[in-house]
Structure 1
Amino acid sequence: MLIDQIDQEIKQLNTAEFKQMLIVATKKLKEAEEEVNDLNIYPVPDGDTGSNMYLTLSNAVEEVKKTNSNTVGDLADKLSMGALMGARGNSGVILSQLLKGLANGMEDSDVLTVDNLSAGLQQAADIAYQAVMKPVEGTILTVAREIAEKAEELSDVHDLTEFMYKIVKQARESVAKTPQLLEVLDEAGVVDAGGKGYEIFLRGLLEGMLAEEEEFEEIFAGSFALGHTKEEQESEEKFGYCTEFIVKGAEVEVDEFREKISALGDSLVVVKTQDLLKVHIHTDHPGEALEFGIEYGDLTNIKIDNMSEQHHERIRQEAERDAQEQATKEDPKDGEIDTSADELAVLAVTVGDGLQDIFDQIGAHYVLKGGQSFNPSTKDLLNGIEKIDASDIIILPNNKNVISTAKQVKDLTEKNIEIVPTKTVPQGIAAMMMFNPQGELSAVSDDMKEELEYVKTGEITYAVRDTEISDMKIEKGDILGLQDGDIEVVTGNYNQAALNLIDHMVEDLDSLITIYVGEETTAEKKEELIDKLEEKYPDFDLEVHTGGQPIYYYIISVE
């Protein structure tokens, strides 16, 4: 659908129509996930803005699907809470704040109108800015603010179609000019990824509002596959087949069709746009449902699933998960619990079997799997916190994209939480050296924070796209050496990159080099690097550990 060719006038929308908008927006963000990921400024494999925004929104829509509320305001509240619990990474956290503002604007509203949507967009920008300690222009915040300003300008517009068209047009223009406001975007030749994701979300809302015929099948494909509610699970046990189909050319009213077909089963959903009906029903007689539908038009997109087989398979998978959880509780390795009742505890986030074992061995009570391109959600962190037998807990994010999610946890639990903002694994390990389980929460976390300034982190990874940064020409597949997040070395060999980077990192008073070896590094390459480091730095202590981390051939600490 071309949004430049809109002539449909809409004054208000009900909850079912609002749900449709959200489902379509989620699908559009999923389709654009890699496009948004590829807008990452640096060519390193951490471009997960699109993934984090999609996962955050999909969790929010999952909550929306579970409610039967008949007010848009309540639906928006469920959306906001789902986004908060599902927020991942910086972009996901900001999106959750935007959705919180949207919900605030729709509070107590029965239907969606221009007035409450406008209020929501304006509050969205305000809340998002408040959530960021040092707002930077040229980012999603700028896009949200300019959209809010446009919404305020449109106070005399009462047609949702016209309003949303102009909002999406403003979003597109705001995103296009982000490189003019932020030099690093201009240098990398990209627009802001978060801003682009927000634009796609808003465009998805508009397309979901209009839902033309040629898009109908795409819009509803999978719209019932975002999760199973308790009611749906009970229905699966009662009825044998999940039956879906589209009736083309239907002239019947939705309520009339719904009332007549309802006798054949339950979990009934019937949605109409123009002359198309999308039907979903759990029934023991799918043939009768199809025969009923064909009385009103031509059938297409017929899908019949045996829910008994699906149900038993899900039970089997859940049993396996339960068994695994029980096993890890009895053997507190790989991200599970040390149940000793210390006064103070640590939750650490990292990925890689070796790194998880290291944090476990040096005193972390719970090690949550997560890190680069694998950011845990707010709910993941909360679940970990609740499994720790301590009321005072320190969180070590160990990744810059996990810090903002960790901060959200503080207001969602009765336990006392402090965040030590570790951006790397070496920072997290250094912080653990200052951990005192018998100490006082704020004093211990302060001691751990002070240790971070003495740690230098190096990372050896690979380029995921061609670019030019700070006069360095980088081609896809090049090996990159990063010191504290900045690209310092570009070569074609990961051992050479490590040697060059360490040479750049070492200073006069340093005496210790620590290497954490990644899962893709060969034993031969590891031994070769050790030999060269021992030869080049004979007076240094050298420690080498198997980290098992993905993405990074080596993680390096110099102290």
Structure 2
Amino acid sequence: MLPDSLNKDIKQINSAKFKQMLLVATNTLKEVEDEINDLNIFPVPDGDTGTNMYLTLSNAIEEIEFTTEDSVGAVANKLAMGALMGARGNSGVILSQLLRGLADGIGNAKLLTAEVLANGLQKASDKAYQAVMKPVEGTILTVAKDVGKKAKKLASELTVVELLIEVVKEAEKSVANTPNLLHTLKEADVVDAGGKGYQMFLTGLLQGLSSDNSIIIREQVGAKSNTKVDLSQIEEFGYCTEFIVKNARVEANEFKEILSEYGDSIIAVKSGDILKVHVHAGHPGSVLEEGLKYGQLTRIKIENMSEQHEERLRKEIEAEQVDVSEEQKVVGGIGVLAVAAGEGLEVIFKKLGVANVLLGGQSMNPSIQDLLESVEEINTNKVIILPNNKNVISTAEQVKELTDKEIEVIPTRTIPQGVTAMMVFNPEGDLQEVTTEMKKEVDFVKTGEITYAVRDTKINELEINKGDILGLIEGNIEVVSSHYNQAALDLLEDMVEADDSLITIYVGEEVSSEDKKELIHNLEEVYEDFDIEIYDGYQPIYYYIISVE
């Protein structure tokens, strides 16, 4: 459906209008965030596509919201850089590459014409395909390719508005066709989530053409509008309050409205029944009390922003007073950055020699900016990154181009792979040789995970209902059960082979002490000849993470 009051005769768009289109596109993506998340086939809690694409674009918008650049090329470049730094998860990284390609195609153009837009959309597709090692058709890549081809074909015949209308139609058609190209989509009776996200981004650009008033981006990207809070009641800097609500009985948008009475800079992101919250408030206790009304609180973090400000100023003054060369600031050797969620897992990695642990992983995909800052905190000029999650690998790879440090990414997809890689880590070795040895070690461990289903679906001929306990081997669902202990035992039957001798269990924060004891007892009976190691990982999402060697 086309927006009202749309002038199809417009042949060129200036930078102010282009920025307006991007702002509307961001809001459009936010409005369909949950709809896109629900398209995800895999039923486990994860960094959902809609959320990751929206957060990536939100970060990009922060770069252009107050810019006074007078060319669409300059705006597009700022947008692309913001998207790169804020990219989260595979879908966010691909979106950032699409926006990078769009900017490259627009180049230094002062005005957006049909030809300039078509060139940008074609370059967007090219850039995204180049960023993926093994492109899969029936995904966002296919939608971008179809859109780019259509745009190039029609650019000379249409105005920029007419072209964008045809581009949106092509995106809709391409998304509808994705199940015919990818069997897993057809089996689950859904279209590709990433492709749908790109379609809605393009739809938002079109809708932005008919918007005459300035659009204010919502809280996630700096808005203070429609807030009930009296900012004069908040101390000059206030308290940065972060926490997670488990088993949350409230939606993200509803909770943001509730928190608007207490503070600003509100972010609330929900994945399954996990609600992650960030707010700047004068009285953090009141915020926490609101959270307790809707579930159990964990990962509570409160920081006095006044003290942070003073500390930042102190460090800036010290930096100005001390003239130290880069060579003196950085020590030799190799440092390791690991991504993990769970206080116990953090302790384990640090005992193994990891220099820095970044909170993140399943359902909490860190951004490129998060990873870059964590890399810079490590006092070595050579750093190995252990993503420990398949949705973080592509994000980690982008860090290589953003720092002067030598970076290697070991594509660990699970916590046990990261732990096993650290067993052969040599901080004083040659970076390439150490990386090679760590990669080899990853092949010797098998990973099982016990989690829960966040949606009904059918996958690999398994009928899965929301709330079912799932057992995964190397990311593939193999067990569906009603209790996490039984799922763990069933999964181990499939995992253990004749030459295995070690079972390691990392216990999640949701597991009761009674269930933990019962599992240990059962394991000792069934696997009496095995070495069995049990660690409290306190990780969210996974009741148990299982390693077999």
Normalising by structure 2, we get a TM-score of 0.82
Choose from 480, 483, 486 the match for 1:496. Answer: 486
Q: Does the 8 A contact of 1:118 with 1:152 survive in 2?
A: yes
Q: Which residue among 360, 381, 393 is the counterpart of 2:371? A: 381
Distance, in Å, in 2 between the alignment partners of 1:182 and 1:477 is: 26
Partner of residue 312 from structure 1, selected from 236, 246, 267: 236
SS of 2:339's equivalent in the other structure is strand
Letter in 2 for 1:94: I
CA contact (8 A) 1:515 1:557 kept: yes
Give 2:401's aligned amino acid.
Answer: D
Corresponding residue for residue 419 of structure 2 = 429
Sequence identity of aligned pairs in percent? 58
Aligned amino acid, residue 484 of structure 2 = Y
How much has 1:340 moved relative to structure 2? Answer: 10
Q: What does 1:437-476 correspond to in 2, within 5 Å? A: 437-476=427-466
**1:492 is matched by which residue type in structure 2?**
S
Paired with 1:494 and 1:304, the residues of 2 have a C-alpha distance of 43
Residue 535 of structure 1 is matched in structure 2 by: 525
Please tell me whether the aligned partners of residues 93 and 404 of structure 1 are also in contact (alpha carbons under 8 angstroms): yes
Change in Cα spacing, 1:305 to 1:429, as seen in structure 2 (3 Å) is closer
Query: Residues 427 and 305 (structure 1 numbering): CA distance in 2 closer, same or farther, change over 3 Å?
Result: closer
Larger Rg over CA atoms: 1
Using the TM superposition, give the Cα deviation of residue 448 of structure 1 relative to its aligned residue in structure 2, in angstroms: 0.2
In 1, the alpha carbon distance for the partners of 2:236 and 2:487 equals 51
Listed one character per residue, the Cα deviations across residues 286-306 of structure 1 (whole Å, up to 9, x for unaligned) are xxxxxxxxxxxxxxx8x8986
Aligned mates of 1:343, 1:307 — CA distance in 2: 48
| Map 1:412-427 → 2, pairs under 5 A | 412-427=402-417
- Given the alignment, which residue of 503, 506, 512 partners 1:516? 506
Deviation of 1:378 (Å):
0.8
Residues 1:414 and 1:47: Cα distance change in structure 2 (over 3 Å): closer
Contiguous gaps of at least 5 residues in structure 1: 229-241, 245-300, 327-338
1:52 counterpart residue number: 52
1:303-344 CA-to-partner distances (Å, cap 9, x unmatched) read 898654457144874235569999xxxxxxxxxxxx994511
Aligned with 2:236: secondary structure?
A: helix
Q: For 1:540 and 1:319, how far apart are their aligned partners in 2?
A: 54
**Structure 2: gaps (5+ residues):** 240-281, 283-303, 314-328
Pairing of 1:128-527 with structure 2 (within 5 A) = 128-211=128-211, 220-222=215-217, 226-227=221-222, 308-309=232-233, 312-314=236-238, 317-319=304-306, 321=308, 341=331, 343-527=333-517
Give the distance between the partners of 1:153 and 1:352, measured in 2 at CA.
Answer: 51
In 2, Cα distance between the equivalents of 1:388 and 1:325?
18
Matched letter for residue 430 of structure 1: T
CA RMSD of aligned residues (A): 2.4
Q: Work out the CA distance in 2 between the residues paired with 1:2 and 1:189.
A: 27
Give a deviation string over 1:138-164, Cα, whole Å, max 9, x none.
Answer: 111000000011001112334222111
Q: What SS is found at the alignment partner of 2:528?
A: coil
- Secondary structure (helix, strand or coil) at the match of 1:151 reads helix
**Aligned partners of 2:382 and 2:45: how far apart in 1?**
35
Call closer, same or farther: CA 1:360–1:321 in 2, change over 3 Å: farther
What count of residue pairs does the alignment treat as equivalent? Answer: 471
| 8 Å CA contact retained: 1:40, 1:47 | no
Kindly indicate whether the alpha-carbon contact (under 8 Å) linking 2:448 and 2:473 is maintained by their aligned counterparts in 1.
yes
Deviations 1:104-151 (A, max 9, x none): 111111122111111100000001101111111111100000001100
Measure the CA separation in 1 of the matches of 2:418 and 2:309: 30
Contact persistence 1:105–1:120 (CA under 8 A): yes
- 1:110, 1:170 → 2: CA distance? 26
More displaced stretch, 340-349 vs 308-317: 308-317
Question: SS of 2:429's equivalent?
Answer: coil
| Structure 1 counterpart SS, 2:209 | helix
Partner of 2:75: 75
